[in-house]
Structure 1
Amino acid sequence: MESTAPPLPESVDVVVVGAGQAGLAAGYFLHRHNRDASRRGLRTLDAVLLDASARPGGAWPRYWDSLELFSAAEHSSLPGRAMPRRLDGRTPTAADVAGYLADYETRYRLPVHRPAPVSSVELDEHDGPEIEGRGFAVTLADGRRVRAAAVISATGSFTRPFLPSSAAAAEAAPRQLHAAEYRRPEPFAGQHVLIVGGGNSGPQVAADLLPHARVTWATRRPPRFMPDDVDGRALFRVATAHVRGESDAAVTQLGEIVAVPSVRRARDEQGLRAVPLSEALAPGRHYDAIIWCTGFRPELRHLRALGLRHTDHGVPATRRDLPTASTDVPGLHLLGYGDWCGPASATLIGVGAHARRAVQDIVARLA
């Protein structure tokens, strides 16, 4: 789907890099600010959303076909518009989410430009709106440039899958891929597949493959299933209370794997059990393929020129009182990458609150 946005302007108040769920949430609050400002005769903000993908939906169109959310639609929505419920009563699939995000973008007429991959964001002194005397120059891969007073980086992590390098794995299987490349079980029918990973994607991919292939699931340490009644809404509530200091319980204390229905069936009815990774990759073990369900890293390569300081956890330093805001570069916000830039900010239900605060900060600085 090509963007229907007007030609890319040379200068705007705000550039949002990315138009997945986090970028769209920021776009919604920019839209709402402009609507309210127009009614009150106040200054509106020019903004663009630059998305690397040629189609809407963020990363959701690229997940495996059978993926379902942890929570029902009413607990998986972005601000302003509820996700439609499935008629069959099941939780939404990845395809449902992709369709919802495409509709959300259209409903609010968000100024999304695509495909418009951003190669770099740099500090720039220019005529126009600035924050603390400086603005940004945002350069696209095709050489086009947009100047802005503020930047919201919302690129997610799907484009940076973490694929471990393992000599033992290279000897054990001729084919290796990351879960980001897995779509459906049929190409693996009748094969012996090793699934590596103790997070949520490992057992979910294993459950998807079990009816079609011989599956070995391996983890570095024993997997920890959450109670069967825990869903995304419960996780969001626990994470928020912990970060606010209202509870000592963190999400990790509940476990590391949400027992969605497909995983419960694989565990209880089909005997899915994890073996130690060292055992799975012992000399003499052979597989047709290895699927690494080993997570992702934040896609922040476009911010290298800013020279951001990093924390001990390897992520850019952000303000304690406003975890989306860079401590080094006024006017830069990092949205939707994980708890380090706001509790539950990498979830549909959780990102809205952080997007609202980021936009409020930008509005206040540009007022």
Structure 2
Amino acid sequence: MVEVVVIGGGQSGLAAAYAVKVAGGSPVVMEAGERSTGSWAGYYDSLRLFSPARYSALPGLAFGGDPDRYPRRDEVVAYLARYAEWLGVEIRTGQRVEKIVAGAGGFEVAVAGGERVSARRVIAATGGFGAPYRPALPGLDRFAGSVVHAAEYRIPEPYAGKRVVVVGAGNSAVQIAHELASEARVTLSSRKPVRFVKQRPLGRDVHWWWSVTGVDRAPVGRWLPKQFSTPVLDGGTYRAAIAAGRPDRRPMFTDLDGDMVTWSDGGRERVDALILATGYRPGLGYLEAMGALDVEGFARHRSGLSTTHPGLGFVGLEWQRSLSSATLRGVGRDARYVVRRLGR
């Protein structure tokens, strides 16, 4: 019988394991991949964090280097690998959890390949970004061009000379569309306008302001409405590029048919590719048989503690407790909270 099993060895799982260790426990981390770096290695090559290094570290180990820089994807991957080694807990890689069953004395964790692990407590830390979300867009099933999610996008060169529509209005959508505009004719299409916030108001990064004002830690539902959408952080580059039409921004198209797109003003044109920067959903399918999820696959929880199964906790869900819950800077705070209360 293992004391605590942590599902997932990315940023959320590592933060959860740290919290268990600090509390005097001995966690076992089960990671599906071959390294404890989560989904970071699979993101597009040019990805850069929107938070400075000083606000992008997990508990106990600084990111290193210039604290005011905005680390790139590969720096995050290297940091997480270093953190996993520094942490000094048991991490079992190549262990994909398929199903968890609740029993009288705890939980049975079923791993692909037939292994079974019994645990008194389980922390589901596969985060809120396990499953790329593809919304029901008008005519998407009839579109004859290329369709990829942002999770599959890597570099702009394959799109050179093509007509591309990037769907979304968040940070990743804007960054991908801006990058692609150097190689292709690109439109950023979304239901709502892009909401920009200055990256460094009054000379300070916005994360400093969120930290000192308490916005970053504001409880969801009490101070901060869950409908609050994370803005696009911009030093001026993205706003200027969209104003110049590289990329241009349009309301959501009304139809797709073959290789044609119909815009809200009635205009039609040929499009080669769609890139869906439409977000993610939690990858928690291994909890479905327990009844720990709602009909849409979201965790039934309150502040990261399961409302259906005592001894089951969550770390890394969007809006779990605050604006920063699913981020490098926020998972440690939520992990401490969950570990302190889990099983009480």
- TM-score scaled by length of structure 2: 0.86
Q: Counterpart of 1:188? A: 159
Structure 1 residue 220, shift from structure 2 partner: 1.3
Identity %: 36
* Corresponding residue to 2:315 among 315, 335, 340: 335
Instruction: Provide Cα deviations, 1:65-113, integer angstroms capped at 9, x if missing partner.
Output: 11111111011111101111349x6300111111101000001212111
Structure 1 residue 171, shift from structure 2 partner: 4.5
Q: For the residues of structure 2 that align with 1:62 and 1:256, how far apart are their CA atoms?
A: 23
What are the within-5 Å matches in structure 2 for residues 287-302 of structure 1? Answer: 287-302=271-286
Instruction: Provide Cα deviations, 1:19-59, integer angstroms capped at 9, x if missing partner.
Output: 1111000111222233xxxxxxxxxx332100111222111
Structure 1 residue 191, shift from structure 2 partner: 1.2
Q: Counterpart of 2:84? A: 105
Structure 1 residue 174, shift from structure 2 partner: 1.5
Q: Which runs of 5+ in 1 are unaligned?
A: 1-10, 35-44, 126-133
The code of the aligned residue for 1:160 comes to A
Aligned residue for 1:71, secondary structure, equals coil
* Corresponding residue to 2:35 among 48, 55, 58: 55
What are the within-5 Å matches in structure 2 for residues 41-120 of structure 1? Answer: 45-86=25-66, 90-120=69-99
Structure 1 residue 264, shift from structure 2 partner: 4.2
Q: Counterpart of 2:10? A: 20
**Residues 189 and 264 from structure 1, CA distance in 2 versus in 1: closer, same or farther, beyond 3 angstroms?**
same
Q: Counterpart of 2:258? A: none
**Residues 226 and 251 from structure 1, CA distance in 2 versus in 1: closer, same or farther, beyond 3 angstroms?**
farther
The code of the aligned residue for 1:156 comes to G
Aligned residue for 1:340, secondary structure, equals coil
Structure 1 residue 305, shift from structure 2 partner: 1.8
Structure 1 residue 226, shift from structure 2 partner: 2.2
- Residue 276, structure 1, aligned to residue 266, structure 2: no
Aligned residue for 1:149, secondary structure, equals strand
- Residue 240, structure 1, aligned to residue 223, structure 2: no
User: Is the 8 Å Cα contact of residues 181 and 246 (structure 2) preserved in structure 1?
Assistant: no
- Residue 208, structure 1, aligned to residue 179, structure 2: yes
Structure 1 residue 163, shift from structure 2 partner: 1.3
Q: Counterpart of 1:138? A: 109
The code of the aligned residue for 1:124 comes to G
User: Is the 8 Å Cα contact of residues 85 and 92 (structure 1) preserved in structure 2?
Assistant: no
Structure 1 residue 314, shift from structure 2 partner: 6.4
**Residues 250 and 215 from structure 1, CA distance in 2 versus in 1: closer, same or farther, beyond 3 angstroms?**
same
User: Is the 8 Å Cα contact of residues 225 and 255 (structure 1) preserved in structure 2?
Assistant: no
User: Is the 8 Å Cα contact of residues 70 and 231 (structure 1) preserved in structure 2?
Assistant: no
Deviates more, 1:266-275 or 1:191-200: 266-275
User: Is the 8 Å Cα contact of residues 226 and 254 (structure 1) preserved in structure 2?
Assistant: no
What are the within-5 Å matches in structure 2 for residues 338-357 of structure 1? Answer: 338-357=318-337
The code of the aligned residue for 2:206 comes to D
Count of aligned pairs between the two proteins: 329
Instruction: Provide Cα deviations, 1:92-135, integer angstroms capped at 9, x if missing partner.
Output: 0111111101000001212111111100111123xxxxxxxx30
Structure 1 residue 253, shift from structure 2 partner: 5.8
Q: For the residues of structure 1 that align with 2:146 and 2:34, how far apart are their CA atoms?
A: 29
Higher strand share: 2
Q: For the residues of structure 2 that align with 1:244 and 1:291, how far apart are their CA atoms?
A: 32
Please, what is the CA RMSD of the aligned residues? 2.6
Structure 1 residue 308, shift from structure 2 partner: 2.2
- Residue 231, structure 1, aligned to residue 231, structure 2: no
* Corresponding residue to 2:134 among 152, 155, 163: 163
**Residues 342 and 151 from structure 1, CA distance in 2 versus in 1: closer, same or farther, beyond 3 angstroms?**
farther
Structure 1 residue 277, shift from structure 2 partner: 1.4
User: Is the 8 Å Cα contact of residues 157 and 299 (structure 1) preserved in structure 2?
Assistant: yes
User: Is the 8 Å Cα contact of residues 160 and 297 (structure 1) preserved in structure 2?
Assistant: yes
Q: For the residues of structure 2 that align with 1:30 and 1:253, how far apart are their CA atoms?
A: 31
- TM-score scaled by length of structure 1: 0.81
Aligned residue for 2:274, secondary structure, equals strand
User: Is the 8 Å Cα contact of residues 174 and 289 (structure 1) preserved in structure 2?
Assistant: yes
Aligned residue for 2:80, secondary structure, equals helix
Q: For the residues of structure 2 that align with 1:116 and 1:24, how far apart are their CA atoms?
A: 15
Q: For the residues of structure 2 that align with 1:25 and 1:316, how far apart are their CA atoms?
A: 19
